[in-house]
Structure 1
Amino acid sequence: MSIAFLLTTLVVVVTPGTGLVYTLAAALSRGRRASVAAAFGCTLAIVPHVLATVTGVAALLHASATAFQVLKYAGVAYLLYMAWATVREKGTIDVGQEGDAPPVTSGRVIVRAVLINLLNPKVTIFFLAFLPQFVSPAEPHAVPRMLALGGVFMLVTFVVFVAFGLLAASVRSHVVSRPRVMTWLRRTFAGSFLALGAKLALTAR
């Protein structure tokens, strides 16, 4: 494994995107446990993208305009839903116990995180362009090596997202009990989801 791969992976992971935005939103609204759940869900969603790259499905998405557009607009629709759901939450949050408010299970947080990353064809196309650069076509074990690199990418994603999430959760008590701050944060995250949805909608292959 090259230093170039690790550095590229780190740059890609820390670049703000839907997964990181959702992890931060979960951390500030529901605390440490939710932030870890969101990070896990975002990481878990990478598995289908890596498998798609290895099996050639990513090439089909790249070649088929219809398949790409269908998946893209499904992703746009879900980002719009996330923006609406974020704004829809009202009131302050009791920070006495992380699990008290609002009543959203870790499983639901994980499912939302998985869908956010899964319904984004840009991620699949990214892996189609990214992983082969670090694997020689003549290498006899190219597929296992690509899977291994995908696993490293997932590990880095999880560690970085958890770190950002825990950092955000550490200042949670200073912001979530203030109605005006919470309203501003919700609008900010909702606006981020809207912006990311618009960017995805305008993305060409």
Structure 2
Amino acid sequence: MEFSTIWLFVIATTALLIMPGPAVFYIMARSIDQGKKAGLVSVLGVSLGGAVHVLAGAIGVSAILMTSATAFTIVKYLGAIYLIYLGCKTLLSASGENHSENPKMNDKKLWKIFYESVIVEVMNPKTALFFLAFFPQFITPASGSVPVQFLLLGTIFIILAFINDSLYAILAANIRKWIVRKKGHSKVMNRVTGYLYIILGIFSAFASPSKT
């Protein structure tokens, strides 16, 4: 691929990433609910989920998913149900739970946050749809293997998204610190994160393969 094409892709991707999407709101919800460490672990999970979509797009699996209304519907509802489940679980959690930043968060809890984040991203068919709609605009068959170009653009996208998402995770962690200083912060954080998950779940449920 020509350097000018890659540079144009970087500029376009950066402009798109600045506007927060479902993944960013999910990561911010994690940071507000469980702190910066949990938010950054969520970023890693979402990045791995994005890598799965990139690989699937490169080998054509995503294209099959997008052409099958049944497959798309199954995946989007599974993802939506999972997000709504996380939201309800958060809203029902004990309001008296200690939400202070916990630097000693154990590996088991971090691992759970990680794989939940991977599931949330993998089960989001809008990500696959976005990659299939956006990447081909910068791919030229004459420049070489299309799958290789797709993987290259996907790698660049994931790196930029990782940086962007990490900044949002840190921002949300700072918002958490502000909330913690307020009276009744546990209830506030439970409600904010719980409703964010539910809203994301509803948004996912109404995702359409005909829209980007």
The yes-or-no answer on 1:21 pairing with 2:11 is no
Q: 1:196 is matched with which residue?
A: 200
Please identify, of 52-61 and 15-24, the stretch whose mean Cα deviation from structure 2 is larger: 15-24
The structural deviation recorded for 1:111 is 0.8
Tell me the CA shift for residue 84 of structure 1.
Answer: 1.1
1:38-117 superposed matches below 5 A: 38-90=42-94, 91-93=96-98, 95=100, 97-99=102-104, 105-117=109-121
Q: 1:22/1:96 Cα in 2 relative to 1: closer, same or farther (>3 Å)?
A: closer
Query: What amino acid sits opposite 2:122 in the alignment?
Result: L
Q: Structure 1 residues 109-118 or 175-184, which shifts more?
A: 175-184
Give how far 1:53 is off.
0.9
Cα RMSD (Å) of the superposition?
2.3
- In the TM superposition, residue 57 of structure 1 has moved relative to its aligned partner by 1.1
**Distance in 2 (alpha carbons) for counterparts of 1:119 and 1:203:** 12
The CA deviation at 1:72 is: 1.0
TM-score, normalisation: structure 2: 0.85
Rounded Cα–Cα distance in structure 2 between residues aligned with 1:96 and 1:140: 49
> Deviation at 1:94?
5.2
Q: Does 1:10 align with 2:14?
A: yes
Higher mean C-alpha deviation, range 139-148 or range 174-183? 174-183
Greater Cα offset, 178-187 or 37-46: 178-187
Aligned 8 A contact 2:179 2:189 in 1: no
Give the deviation of 1:139 after TM superposition.
2.2
Match of 1:35 in 2: 39
Could you say if the C-alpha distance between residues 28 and 194 of structure 1 is closer, same or farther in structure 2, counting changes exceeding 3 Å?
closer
The count of corresponding residues between Structure 1 and Structure 2 is: 204
Secondary structure class of the residue paired with 2:200: helix
Please name the residue that 1:185 is paired with.
189
Q: Does 1:166 align with 2:186?
A: no
In the superposition, the TM-score normalised over structure 1's length comes to 0.88
Q: Deviations over 1:19-62 (max 9, x none)?
A: 21222122223222212101111111011111111111111111
Question: For the structure 1 residues 71 and 100, does the alpha-carbon distance in structure 2 shift closer, same or farther, using more than 3 Å as the test?
Answer: closer
Q: What secondary structure, in the 3-state scheme, does the structure 2 residue paired with 1:151 have? A: helix
Shift of 1:182: 3.3
The answer for unaligned runs of 5 or more in structure 2 is none
Distance 1:97 1:194, change over 3 A: closer
Aligned equivalents of 1:204 and 1:24: distance in 2? Answer: 24
Given that 1:83 and 1:191 are in contact with CA atoms closer than 8 Å, whether structure 2 keeps it comes out as yes
Distance 2:108 2:93 in 1: 12
Counterpart-to-counterpart distance in 2, 1:178 and 1:158: 31
